Amino acid sequence: MMAAARKRKSEALGDETEDEERGDRRRKIRKTNKYIGAHVGIQGGIWKAVESSAALGAGAFALFLGSQRSWKRPVLDPAAADRFQEKCSELGFDPAHILPHGSYLMNCGSPKDDVSEKSRVLLVDELSRCSRLGLRLYNFHPGSSLGAITTQQCLDKIAAAINHAHQQTPAVVTVLENMSGQGSTVGGRFCELRRIIDRVRDRSRVGVCLDTCHAFAAGKLGCNLDRHEDIGKGNIGLSAFRDVVNEPRLDGVPLILETPGRPGFQDAEQIELLYSLCEKNKE
Ligand SMILES: [Zn+2]
Protein backbone atom coordinates (compact mmCIF):
# COMPACT_ATOMS: atom_id res chain seq x y z
CA MET A 1 0.00 0.00 0.00
CA MET A 2 2.70 2.42 1.07
CA ALA A 3 4.73 1.59 -1.97
CA ALA A 4 1.72 2.00 -4.19
CA ALA A 5 0.84 5.32 -2.57
CA ARG A 6 4.41 6.53 -2.92
CA LYS A 7 4.45 5.39 -6.49
CA ARG A 8 1.24 7.27 -7.22
CA LYS A 9 2.68 10.36 -5.55
CA SER A 10 5.88 10.19 -7.57
CA GLU A 11 3.89 9.60 -10.72
CA ALA A 12 1.81 12.67 -9.93
CA LEU A 13 4.97 14.68 -9.28
CA GLY A 14 6.40 13.38 -12.53
CA ASP A 15 3.36 14.62 -14.38
CA GLU A 16 3.62 18.01 -12.71
CA THR A 17 7.27 18.38 -13.70
CA GLU A 18 6.36 17.36 -17.22
CA ASP A 19 3.51 19.90 -17.29
CA GLU A 20 5.82 22.60 -15.99
CA GLU A 21 8.46 21.80 -18.58
CA ARG A 22 5.81 21.81 -21.26
CA GLY A 23 4.55 25.18 -20.03
CA ASP A 24 8.10 26.59 -20.03
CA ARG A 25 8.66 25.38 -23.55
CA ARG A 26 5.43 26.95 -24.78
CA ARG A 27 6.16 30.27 -23.07
CA LYS A 28 9.67 30.42 -24.52
CA ILE A 29 8.41 29.64 -28.00
CA ARG A 30 5.54 32.13 -27.82
CA LYS A 31 7.86 34.86 -26.57
CA THR A 32 10.31 34.44 -29.45
CA ASN A 33 7.71 33.56 -32.11
CA LYS A 34 10.37 31.20 -33.53
CA TYR A 35 9.38 27.61 -34.14
CA ILE A 36 12.58 25.56 -34.03
CA GLY A 37 12.71 21.78 -34.26
CA ALA A 38 14.39 18.80 -35.89
CA HIS A 39 13.64 16.00 -38.32
CA VAL A 40 12.26 13.23 -36.10
CA GLY A 41 11.55 9.54 -36.70
CA ILE A 42 8.17 7.82 -37.04
CA GLN A 43 9.24 4.34 -35.95
CA GLY A 44 6.56 2.78 -33.75
CA GLY A 45 3.80 5.04 -35.10
CA ILE A 46 3.54 8.40 -36.80
CA TRP A 47 2.40 10.10 -33.54
CA LYS A 48 5.79 9.21 -32.02
CA ALA A 49 7.21 12.14 -34.01
CA VAL A 50 5.09 14.52 -31.92
CA GLU A 51 6.18 12.95 -28.63
CA SER A 52 9.88 13.01 -29.55
CA SER A 53 9.64 16.65 -30.62
CA ALA A 54 8.08 17.65 -27.31
CA ALA A 55 10.86 15.77 -25.49
CA LEU A 56 13.43 17.75 -27.50
CA GLY A 57 11.92 21.04 -26.33
CA ALA A 58 11.06 21.83 -29.94
CA GLY A 59 8.41 24.17 -31.30
CA ALA A 60 8.37 22.61 -34.77
CA PHE A 61 9.33 19.39 -36.49
CA ALA A 62 9.86 17.59 -39.78
CA LEU A 63 9.05 13.95 -40.49
CA PHE A 64 8.81 11.46 -43.32
CA LEU A 65 5.32 10.22 -44.14
CA GLY A 66 6.36 6.62 -44.67
CA SER A 67 9.19 4.30 -45.57
CA GLN A 68 11.98 5.74 -47.72
CA ARG A 69 12.48 2.40 -49.43
CA SER A 70 9.16 1.68 -51.08
CA TRP A 71 7.10 3.41 -53.74
CA LYS A 72 3.90 1.77 -52.52
CA ARG A 73 2.93 2.11 -48.89
CA PRO A 74 0.17 0.65 -46.78
CA VAL A 75 -2.86 2.91 -46.41
CA LEU A 76 -2.54 5.36 -43.51
CA ASP A 77 -4.27 3.83 -40.50
CA PRO A 78 -7.12 6.20 -39.53
CA ALA A 79 -6.56 5.49 -35.82
CA ALA A 80 -2.87 6.43 -36.16
CA ALA A 81 -3.79 9.62 -38.03
CA ASP A 82 -6.28 10.58 -35.31
CA ARG A 83 -3.73 9.86 -32.61
CA PHE A 84 -1.19 12.08 -34.42
CA GLN A 85 -3.65 14.97 -34.47
CA GLU A 86 -4.60 14.45 -30.82
CA LYS A 87 -0.93 14.43 -29.81
CA CYS A 88 -0.32 17.64 -31.74
CA SER A 89 -3.04 19.50 -29.88
CA GLU A 90 -2.18 17.92 -26.52
CA LEU A 91 1.53 18.79 -26.81
CA GLY A 92 0.97 22.18 -28.41
CA PHE A 93 2.15 21.75 -31.98
CA ASP A 94 0.35 23.84 -34.57
CA PRO A 95 0.15 22.21 -38.04
CA ALA A 96 1.62 25.46 -39.45
CA HIS A 97 4.90 24.52 -37.74
CA ILE A 98 5.09 20.94 -38.99
CA LEU A 99 6.94 20.39 -42.26
CA PRO A 100 6.77 16.83 -43.61
CA HIS A 101 9.67 15.94 -45.90
CA GLY A 102 9.01 14.16 -49.18
CA SER A 103 10.36 10.72 -50.03
CA TYR A 104 13.90 10.62 -51.39
CA LEU A 105 12.75 8.10 -54.02
CA MET A 106 10.67 10.72 -55.74
CA ASN A 107 11.98 12.52 -58.83
CA CYS A 108 9.13 14.37 -60.49
CA GLY A 109 11.54 15.74 -63.10
CA SER A 110 12.99 12.38 -64.09
CA PRO A 111 13.64 11.80 -67.80
CA LYS A 112 12.61 8.15 -67.24
CA ASP A 113 8.88 7.77 -67.85
CA ASP A 114 8.37 5.02 -65.26
CA VAL A 115 10.13 7.00 -62.52
CA SER A 116 8.35 10.27 -63.29
CA GLU A 117 4.99 8.45 -63.33
CA LYS A 118 5.69 6.68 -60.00
CA SER A 119 6.80 10.02 -58.57
CA ARG A 120 3.56 11.71 -59.64
CA VAL A 121 1.57 8.96 -57.93
CA LEU A 122 3.70 9.19 -54.78
CA LEU A 123 3.35 12.98 -54.67
CA VAL A 124 -0.45 12.67 -54.72
CA ASP A 125 -0.28 9.96 -52.04
CA GLU A 126 1.95 12.07 -49.79
CA LEU A 127 -0.25 15.17 -50.13
CA SER A 128 -3.33 13.07 -49.28
CA ARG A 129 -1.55 11.78 -46.19
CA CYS A 130 -0.77 15.36 -45.17
CA SER A 131 -4.42 16.36 -45.37
CA ARG A 132 -5.50 13.27 -43.43
CA LEU A 133 -2.97 14.24 -40.72
CA GLY A 134 -4.30 17.81 -40.65
CA LEU A 135 -1.02 19.16 -42.06
CA ARG A 136 -0.81 22.19 -44.34
CA LEU A 137 2.75 22.10 -45.66
CA TYR A 138 4.75 19.52 -47.61
CA ASN A 139 8.42 19.99 -48.46
CA PHE A 140 10.23 18.11 -51.21
CA HIS A 141 13.32 18.10 -53.39
CA PRO A 142 12.31 19.32 -56.84
CA GLY A 143 14.15 16.63 -58.81
CA SER A 144 17.01 15.79 -61.11
CA SER A 145 17.48 15.79 -64.88
CA LEU A 146 20.02 12.94 -64.57
CA GLY A 147 21.82 14.77 -67.33
CA ALA A 148 19.46 13.21 -69.90
CA ILE A 149 17.15 16.20 -70.47
CA THR A 150 17.69 19.97 -70.17
CA THR A 151 17.21 21.74 -66.86
CA GLN A 152 14.24 23.61 -68.37
CA GLN A 153 12.55 20.38 -69.44
CA CYS A 154 13.12 18.94 -65.97
CA LEU A 155 11.66 22.05 -64.28
CA ASP A 156 8.60 21.93 -66.55
CA LYS A 157 7.98 18.28 -65.68
CA ILE A 158 8.15 19.13 -61.97
CA ALA A 159 5.65 21.98 -62.38
CA ALA A 160 3.31 19.64 -64.29
CA ALA A 161 3.54 17.05 -61.50
CA ILE A 162 2.69 19.72 -58.91
CA ASN A 163 -0.31 20.95 -60.93
CA HIS A 164 -1.52 17.36 -61.28
CA ALA A 165 -1.15 16.73 -57.53
CA HIS A 166 -2.95 19.98 -56.69
CA GLN A 167 -5.90 18.87 -58.82
CA GLN A 168 -6.07 15.53 -57.02
CA THR A 169 -5.73 16.76 -53.43
CA PRO A 170 -7.09 19.56 -51.26
CA ALA A 171 -5.32 22.61 -49.80
CA VAL A 172 -1.82 21.38 -48.81
CA VAL A 173 0.98 23.78 -49.85
CA THR A 174 3.82 22.17 -51.83
CA VAL A 175 7.09 23.63 -50.61
CA LEU A 176 10.09 23.47 -52.95
CA GLU A 177 13.47 23.01 -51.30
CA ASN A 178 16.52 24.78 -52.73
CA MET A 179 19.29 22.29 -53.49
CA SER A 180 23.09 22.42 -53.35
CA GLY A 181 23.44 21.99 -57.12
CA GLN A 182 25.18 18.65 -56.66
CA GLY A 183 25.24 16.52 -59.84
CA SER A 184 22.23 17.10 -62.08
CA THR A 185 19.75 18.04 -59.33
CA VAL A 186 17.71 21.13 -60.14
CA GLY A 187 16.66 23.90 -57.74
CA GLY A 188 20.17 24.97 -56.74
CA ARG A 189 19.53 28.37 -58.31
CA PHE A 190 16.63 30.52 -57.23
CA CYS A 191 15.75 31.25 -60.88
CA GLU A 192 15.08 27.50 -61.26
CA LEU A 193 12.62 27.51 -58.37
CA ARG A 194 11.11 30.61 -59.93
CA ARG A 195 10.58 28.79 -63.23
CA ILE A 196 8.64 26.04 -61.42
CA ILE A 197 6.56 28.54 -59.43
CA ASP A 198 5.76 30.50 -62.62
CA ARG A 199 4.19 27.36 -64.06
CA VAL A 200 2.18 26.34 -60.99
CA ARG A 201 -1.44 27.30 -61.55
CA ASP A 202 -2.51 27.65 -57.90
CA ARG A 203 0.10 30.02 -56.42
CA SER A 204 -1.57 29.87 -53.01
CA ARG A 205 -0.32 26.29 -52.84
CA VAL A 206 3.37 26.72 -53.60
CA GLY A 207 6.18 27.86 -51.31
CA VAL A 208 9.93 27.62 -50.81
CA CYS A 209 12.00 26.01 -48.09
CA LEU A 210 15.42 27.60 -47.72
CA ASP A 211 18.00 24.99 -46.77
CA THR A 212 20.91 27.05 -45.37
CA CYS A 213 23.49 24.34 -46.07
CA HIS A 214 22.33 23.89 -49.67
CA ALA A 215 22.21 27.66 -50.29
CA PHE A 216 25.69 28.12 -48.87
CA ALA A 217 27.14 25.26 -50.92
CA ALA A 218 25.41 26.37 -54.12
CA GLY A 219 26.13 30.09 -53.82
CA LYS A 220 28.70 31.66 -51.55
CA LEU A 221 30.91 28.63 -51.15
CA GLY A 222 30.21 27.24 -54.62
CA CYS A 223 31.44 23.73 -53.81
CA ASN A 224 27.96 22.29 -54.57
CA LEU A 225 28.55 19.59 -51.98
CA ASP A 226 25.64 18.67 -49.77
CA ARG A 227 27.42 18.39 -46.40
CA HIS A 228 25.36 19.26 -43.35
CA GLU A 229 27.19 20.26 -40.14
CA ASP A 230 26.07 20.94 -36.57
CA ILE A 231 24.95 24.47 -35.69
CA GLY A 232 27.97 26.74 -35.29
CA LYS A 233 30.49 24.01 -36.19
CA GLY A 234 30.55 24.40 -39.95
CA ASN A 235 31.51 27.10 -42.44
CA ILE A 236 28.33 29.14 -41.93
CA GLY A 237 29.20 30.02 -38.32
CA LEU A 238 27.08 30.80 -35.30
CA SER A 239 26.57 34.51 -36.03
CA ALA A 240 24.58 33.67 -39.19
CA PHE A 241 22.24 31.52 -37.11
CA ARG A 242 21.91 34.34 -34.57
CA ASP A 243 20.67 36.48 -37.47
CA VAL A 244 18.25 33.74 -38.57
CA VAL A 245 16.62 33.32 -35.17
CA ASN A 246 16.32 37.09 -34.72
CA GLU A 247 14.90 37.79 -38.18
CA PRO A 248 11.30 39.03 -37.77
CA ARG A 249 10.37 37.86 -41.28
CA LEU A 250 10.94 34.29 -40.09
CA ASP A 251 8.40 34.63 -37.28
CA GLY A 252 5.95 31.73 -37.36
CA VAL A 253 7.98 29.84 -39.98
CA PRO A 254 9.13 26.31 -39.06
CA LEU A 255 12.94 26.25 -38.63
CA ILE A 256 14.15 22.67 -38.88
CA LEU A 257 17.54 21.19 -38.01
CA GLU A 258 19.02 18.69 -40.44
CA THR A 259 22.31 18.40 -38.59
CA PRO A 260 24.27 15.20 -37.93
CA GLY A 261 24.64 15.72 -34.15
CA ARG A 262 27.59 14.65 -32.06
CA PRO A 263 27.87 13.37 -28.48
CA GLY A 264 26.58 16.05 -26.12
CA PHE A 265 25.40 18.19 -29.01
CA GLN A 266 22.37 16.41 -30.40
CA ASP A 267 19.07 17.89 -31.58
CA ALA A 268 17.89 18.92 -28.09
CA GLU A 269 21.11 20.81 -27.34
CA GLN A 270 21.17 22.47 -30.75
CA ILE A 271 17.54 23.58 -30.41
CA GLU A 272 18.33 24.96 -26.96
CA LEU A 273 21.36 26.80 -28.34
CA LEU A 274 19.27 28.40 -31.09
CA TYR A 275 16.59 29.52 -28.64
CA SER A 276 19.32 30.97 -26.40
CA LEU A 277 20.43 33.16 -29.32
CA CYS A 278 16.98 34.77 -29.57
CA GLU A 279 17.23 38.29 -28.15
CA LYS A 280 13.58 38.14 -27.08
CA ASN A 281 14.48 35.33 -24.69
CA LYS A 282 16.89 37.65 -22.90
CA GLU A 283 14.37 40.45 -22.33
ZN1 LIG B 1 15.61 18.09 -47.98
Q: Report how far ligand 1's centroid is from the alpha carbon of 2 (Å).
A: 53
In a domain, 79, yes or no: yes
Q: Report how far ligand 1's centroid is from the alpha carbon of 141 (Å).
A: 6
Strand order in the sheet with 206-209: 137-140, 173-177, 206-209
In a domain, 186, yes or no: yes
In a domain, 7, yes or no: no
Higher pLDDT, 237 or 14: 237
- What DSSP string runs through 226-275? -----TTTSSS-HHHHHHHHT-GGGTTSEEEE----BTTBSHHHHHHHHH
What are the tens digits of pLDDT across the range 176-216? Answer: 999 988 899 999 999 999 999 999 999 999 999 999 988 88
Residue 5: band (very low, low, confident or very high) from pLDDT cuts 50, 70, 90: very low
Domain count, the chain: 1
Q: Report how far ligand 1's centroid is from the alpha carbon of 9 (Å).
A: 45
Taking the model in full, what pTM does it have? 0.90
- Nearest partner of 97 among 140, 63, 68, 64, judged by Cα: 63
Residue 14: band (very low, low, confident or very high) from pLDDT cuts 50, 70, 90: low
- What DSSP string runs through 117-158? HHHHHHHHHHHHHHHHTT--EEEE--EE-TTTS-HHHHHHHH
8 A C-beta contact, residue 52 and residue 121: no
Q: Is the pLDDT of residue 283 over 80?
A: no
Higher pLDDT, 112 or 212: 112
Q: Report how far ligand 1's centroid is from the alpha carbon of 100 (Å).
A: 10
In a domain, 27, yes or no: no
Q: Report how far ligand 1's centroid is from the alpha carbon of 16 (Å).
A: 37
In a domain, 24, yes or no: no
Q: Report how far ligand 1's centroid is from the alpha carbon of 65 (Å).
A: 14
Q: Is the pLDDT of residue 6 over 50?
A: no
- Nearest partner of 97 among 259, 260, 280, 251, judged by Cα: 251
Q: Is the pLDDT of residue 217 over 90?
A: no
Distance in angstroms (rounded) separating the CA atoms of residues 100 and 159: 19
Owning domain of residue 193 = 34-281
Specify the CATH number for the domain of residue 195: 3.20.20.150
Q: Report how far ligand 1's centroid is from the alpha carbon of 239 (Å).
A: 23
What are the tens digits of pLDDT across the range 95-104? Answer: 999 999 999 9
In a domain, 20, yes or no: no
CA of residue 38 relative to chain centroid, distance: 8
Q: Is the pLDDT of residue 2 over 60?
A: no
Q: Report how far ligand 1's centroid is from the alpha carbon of 104 (Å).
A: 8
In a domain, 194, yes or no: yes
HSE, CB side, 13 Å, CA atoms: give it for residue 46.
27
Q: Report how far ligand 1's centroid is from the alpha carbon of 121 (Å).
A: 19
Q: Report how far ligand 1's centroid is from the alpha carbon of 89 (Å).
A: 26
What are the tens digits of pLDDT across the range 38-77? Answer: 999 999 999 999 999 999 999 999 999 999 889 999 999 9
Sign (positive/negative) of CA torsion 170, 129, 124, 179? Answer: positive
